[in-house]
Structure 1
Amino acid sequence: MTTYKILGLMSGTSLDGLDLAYCTIWQEGHTWQFGIKKTKSVSYSKEMQTQLKDAILLSADELLKLHNSYGTWLGEQCDLFINDNGLEVDYISSHGHTTHHQPGNGLTFQVGNGQHLANTSHHKVVCDFRTNDVALGGQGAPLVPIGDRLFFNKYDFCLNLGGISNISFEHNGKRIAYDIGLANMILNHITRKEGLDYDAGGNLAKNGKINPEMLNELNELEFYKLPFPKSIGYEWFIEKVVPIVDGTEDRMENLLCTGIHHVCEQVAIQVKANQKKPGSTLFVSGGGALNDFLIETLQEKLGNSVKVIVPSKQLIEFKEALVFALMGVLRIEKKTNVLSSVTGAKRDSSSGVLFLPT
């Protein structure tokens, strides 16, 4: 039995920062096990936040420069984390940061050059997990459902509330997963306009009232009517959502309250549509799980037939980094780590590219 000591890296659409999770991962029989041993979150400076947010506007050569410099920065953060904690690391498994996601055009791009990361950290790196699936005709997203299936299969539904909300569940022996729609992306956009990074615990939203016109406009977005598999990226948010939010004149508290009700209504619609039995369990992770008002609102909209399960703070915050660590292990073992039932690709794949330090 091989136990992998692997450092998983994740940077999500909410642009909060970089999550690092040092994990042990091993297989007992047919069951995969994990331990999260050390974690760290590195907040982005305002400058880096802006750089990553606006990367979509860069020329090709400027984008590649960012790809390299961000890869070097990731390597520096890993080197610091490993040395500070005296860690033994077999591999670093990095998601990078998605700047472009247009699967309909056969395009997805995550900055964070693997060679720069490997050279700076002095460790072997697995990264670029989405490109292969898109080349196979898939959405290249969501990827976390492989972790839901292998690590968290005792729950009926796994919901991730990052910048975007996505869900996964078993259906006729296959894992189904897709982006539901908005989560922290809309809430953080509202608070950042007022100079706040986020609404801690949803306390501001809790003191707000629903803006019915804005709620209706958000609920009517075309994406919600599309069949799965489906995914969205920052481009969709900028084009379709920002005009609605910025075009609504109201107090920040009311905008946040409306945003939360919208997120929860869309999640509830999907859970109820796919629920097979009363008393189902919905396992919630991602930054949105720390928003108490959001979780209360979600439970309200689901009623008694679905129990919302919020795990430990460590698992909420580092589940995605853990899953990318798992994806790295599966790639090293040449086992499936991207499911075509989730992405719509021609076939399952073992995706990711290995970079050796020089």
Structure 2
Amino acid sequence: MVFQAVGLMSGTSLDGLDICFTKFEKKNTAWTFQILQAETVPYPKYWEDQLRNSINLPAEKLLELNSEYGFYLGQLVNAFIEKYQLKDIDLISSHGHTVFHQPQKKFTLQIGDGRAIKIETGLPVIYDFRTQDVLMGGNGAPLVPIGDELLFPQYDACLNLGGFSNISLKNNHKRTAFDIAPVNIILNKLVQKFNRSFDENGELARTGKINNSLLDKLNSLDFYKDYHPKSLGVEWCQEHIFPLFENIGTEDQLATFTEHAAVQIAHAVNENNLRTVLCTGGGTYNTFLIEKIKQKTTAAIIIPEKEIIDYKEALIFAFMGVLRLNNEINVLASATGSTHDHSSGITA
């Protein structure tokens, strides 16, 4: 079986839209993949502002944005297809952009209506991968472990450093996964004070000093005591993280939060006796953070080629769409905490 799919991923850090066109092949029970084309389309200021503010919109405006953003995604896919002269596309698989994520209240919302993408592109679209899992009692996250299990089985664990850090690993022959701590969702917000969208290589954080009182408060947050499966959202950061930063210089905030993230990530690695950890996501380029993690663990932190660092999530969402198309399991209950493994996603 051979499938070619476009995966779309918009992360909480608002770097832009990741678009990944991948060929998947299944022989017997083993899957292989080949990324054929991929790029990140930075959001223009209008869309960055719209998505950043979406959490504050009244219901009518949010519904309007859901449709508008869906058509925008379709336009970006059309431009991508034309640019690379792509052919034989079986489906588009879209994660959407997360506005709300409160699984304990049985809801999560990713905007970017898949029906609008289909109308714009004329191609089959699969979208809304998280809601079904949340309704089944799961966290609706993390979803990428199915890709880690079937596409990257050679590593003990896969660590993603994006808006949030999450990890997936084999434990007693079951793949478990969980969010570890916020990363870029906090660091990127802090460096906006310097008119930067991110702290390149962690250079600003490197100039700061660790505030031990703040570090203790961060490491003492109840979330870190909870057993997995567990997941984080923007709302949690607004309630629990940002209020702790008062009266501390920004460079020191950056240094302290980087230390905090490294402590929590290394703890997750060490606690599970991991030896080989594949590290991907935008935070992988934060050399200061990577140094801090390596200092705190003996595990091999493996940095792959740029294509995998940047597009692993979009790749896996494309894969999830292919699995859904075939009605195969694409969400693991051992990772999300739902009642059972299932095949999730709405087909437009």
- TM-score grouping bracket, smaller chain normalisation: over 0.9
Match of 2:326? 333
AA matched with 1:234: V
Cα deviations by residue, 1:34-69 (Å, 9 ceiling, x for unpaired): 011111111112332222122111111111101000
- Does 2:276 align with 1:281? yes
Match of 1:205? 205
Q: Distance in 2 between matches of 1:264 and 1:157?
A: 16
Q: Which runs of 5+ in 2 are unaligned?
A: none
Match of 2:33? 34
> Which residues in structure 2 correspond to 1:35-184 (within 5 Å)?
35-88=34-87, 89-184=89-184
Task: Please state how far the C-alpha of 1:208 moved relative to its aligned partner.
Answer: 2.2
Aligned length: 347
AA matched with 2:280: S
Match of 2:254? 256
8 Å Cα contact 2:182-2:232 kept in structure 1: no
Q: Among residues 328, 331, 351, which one is paired with 2:344 in the alignment?
A: 351
AA matched with 1:63: L
Q: Distance in 2 between matches of 1:326 and 1:157?
A: 19
Q: Distance in 1 between matches of 2:139 and 2:14?
A: 21
AA matched with 2:215: L
AA matched with 1:86: Q
Match of 2:294? 299
Q: Distance in 2 between matches of 1:48 and 1:238?
A: 21
Task: Please state how far the C-alpha of 1:312 moved relative to its aligned partner.
Answer: 0.8
Q: Distance in 2 between matches of 1:45 and 1:264?
A: 31
AA matched with 1:150: L
Cα deviations by residue, 1:310-330 (Å, 9 ceiling, x for unpaired): 111111010000000000000
Aligned partner of residue 142 in structure 1, secondary structure: coil
8 Å Cα contact 1:208-1:254 kept in structure 2: yes
> Which residues in structure 2 correspond to 1:221-260 (within 5 Å)?
221-245=221-245, 247-250=246-249, 252-260=250-258
AA matched with 2:97: H
Aligned partner of residue 258 in structure 1, secondary structure: helix
AA matched with 2:14: L
Cα deviations by residue, 1:247-295 (Å, 9 ceiling, x for unpaired): 1421x3322211111101001111111116xxx0111000011111111
| Pairwise CA RMSD | 1.1
Task: Please state how far the C-alpha of 1:147 moved relative to its aligned partner.
Answer: 0.8
Q: Distance in 2 between matches of 1:274 and 1:48?
A: 40
8 Å Cα contact 1:214-1:248 kept in structure 2: no
Match of 2:196? 196
Cα deviations by residue, 1:115-149 (Å, 9 ceiling, x for unpaired): 10111122110111001111111110000111111
Q: Distance in 2 between matches of 1:178 and 1:248?
A: 32
Task: Please state how far the C-alpha of 1:174 moved relative to its aligned partner.
Answer: 0.7
Q: Distance in 1 between matches of 2:223 and 2:194?
A: 28
Q: Among residues 306, 310, 316, which one is paired with 1:317 in the alignment?
A: 310
Q: Distance in 1 between matches of 2:53 and 2:104?
A: 21
Q: Distance in 2 between matches of 1:151 and 1:220?
A: 35
Q: Among residues 265, 271, 274, which one is paired with 2:263 in the alignment?
A: 265
AA matched with 1:301: K
Q: Distance in 2 between matches of 1:74 and 1:159?
A: 27
Q: Distance in 2 between matches of 1:233 and 1:209?
A: 27
User: Is the alpha carbon distance of 1:269 and 1:248 closer, same or farther for their aligned partners in structure 2, counting shifts above 3 Å?
Assistant: farther
Q: Distance in 2 between matches of 1:334 and 1:26?
A: 16
Larger mean Cα displacement after TM superposition, 344-353 or 46-55: 46-55
Aligned partner of residue 194 in structure 2, secondary structure: coil
AA matched with 2:172: N
Q: Distance in 2 between matches of 1:104 and 1:265?
A: 27
